[in-house]
Amino acid sequence: MSEILRDRTSNLNLQSIEVFCEVVKTRSFSKGAERLSISQSAASQQVANLEQVLGLKLLDRSYRPLQVTEDGELYYKGCQQLLEGYRGVLNQIRRKRNSAEGQVRVVSIYSVGLHTLDDFVRSYMRENTGSTVRLEYYHPVKVYEAILNDEAEVGVMSYPRSGRHVEVIPWLEEEMVLACPSGHPLARTKKIDAHRLAGANFVAFEKDLKIRREVDRFFRESEIQVNILSEFDNIETIKQALDISTAVSILPAPSVAREVERGIISEVRLNGVNLRRPVGIIVRKGRELTATARNFISFLMGASPGGTLELAARED
């Protein structure tokens, strides 16, 4: 190949070559353009530009249907091999990415990760040999950051927020219950009227957390005032505070299940109260998830009551 032809061909691109090949296959600019979802004029311009760059006449447009010149036939065969090789490489990459035997990094807020998600992760890896789920526990703000910065594919949040860059898949609705130390007077029954909480010593979440705002709203609407002894930013510390005090708190039922089993905390329902904590799965908008990530999300959705996977492609 001469230096001039080498310089010319450096300006070619695969799109023009693909357009030329489709036109040759169909012997028609209109049919070739239709197969590639482009306009007939765009196809004609790309082939004309190809001929100009190469300095060769590839098609004889004086015939109907189009005739391919001798140079065009030779060039077409070479281009077909080029495109087949290129598509073969892409298919290898896709097969590798679509292999279920991969790893997915999941970030979750502490309360969901420790008390709910951890069990799902173990079950998933038992059922999907070769797949690995790396689960890490983060503060709510850090969960969002990890998803937005592509440090993790899947995030799990309570009160999740959708946004311009974040998609939400609703997952669970956790019942909120009254958590009492086992010796507390309110722990003697399975259900109580909410107004019996009036004046009770209470351990609360910090004011900047969504779950605190929801509990405060419940007290306000029910016209109940409690005596807030302390405030914390996580459920584990609240449970420790209950263990060494005579106070109560309102917490998601799954987060106290183990303590209830051990007799450390008593779980009491509030009559006529439908206070729940929504938990959702978050992903970054526009990101193509790996097969393992998609499989894990599908597993979570299938394991939750009435769960359906809906990647429309919603804090603690």
Task: Go through the domains of the chain in sequence order and give each one's CATH number.
Answer: 3-97 (1.10.10.10), 103-187+209-214+251-316 (3.40.190.290)
Concatenating the DSSP letter of every residue in the chain gives --HHHHHHHTT--HHHHHHHHHHHHHT-HHHHHHHTT--HHHHHHHHHHHHHHHT---EETTSSS-EE-HHHHHHHHHHHHHHHHHHHHHHHHHHHHT-SSSEEEEEEEHHHIIIIIHHHHHHHHHHSTT-EEEEEEE-HHHHHHHHHTTS-SEEEEES----SSEEEEEEEEEEEEEEEETTSGGGGSSEEEGGGGTT-EEEEE-TTSHHHHHHHHHHHHHT---EEEEEESSHHHHHHHHHTSS-BEEEEHHHHHHHHHHTSEEEEEEET---EEEEEEEEETT----HHHHHHHHHHHHHSTT----------
Residue 179: predicted pLDDT: 96
Spatial distance between the Cα atoms of 112 and 194, rounded to a whole number of angstroms: 25
The answer to whether 32 and 19 are in contact (CB under 8 A) is yes
* Tokens (6 digits) for 234: 């996580």
The answer to whether 110 and 234 are in contact (CB under 8 A) is yes
State which amino acid sits at residue 126: R
The Cα-based distances of 120 to 95, 125, 160, 299 in angstroms read: 26, 9, 19, 8
State which amino acid sits at residue 26: T
Residue in the block written with tokens 């193509």: 288
Residue in the block written with tokens 């028609």: 28
Spatial distance between the Cα atoms of 311 and 41, rounded to a whole number of angstroms: 37
Please list the residues that pair with 180 across neighbouring strands. 266
By C-alpha distance, which of 301, 291, 244, 302 is closest to 131?
291
Cis peptide before 160 (omega within 30 of 0): no
pLDDT in tens, the chain (316 residues): 444 344 444 456 788 899 999 999 999 999 988 988 899 999 899 999 988 888 889 999 888 888 999 999 999 999 999 988 888 888 777 666 555 458 899 999 988 988 889 889 999 999 988 889 999 999 888 999 999 999 999 999 999 988 889 999 999 999 999 999 988 999 988 999 999 999 999 999 999 889 999 999 999 999 999 999 999 988 999 999 998 888 999 999 999 999 999 999 999 999 988 899 999 999 999 888 998 999 999 999 987 554 444 443 333 3
Please provide residue 135's backbone torsions phi and psi, each rounded to the nearest 5 degrees. Answer: -100, 125
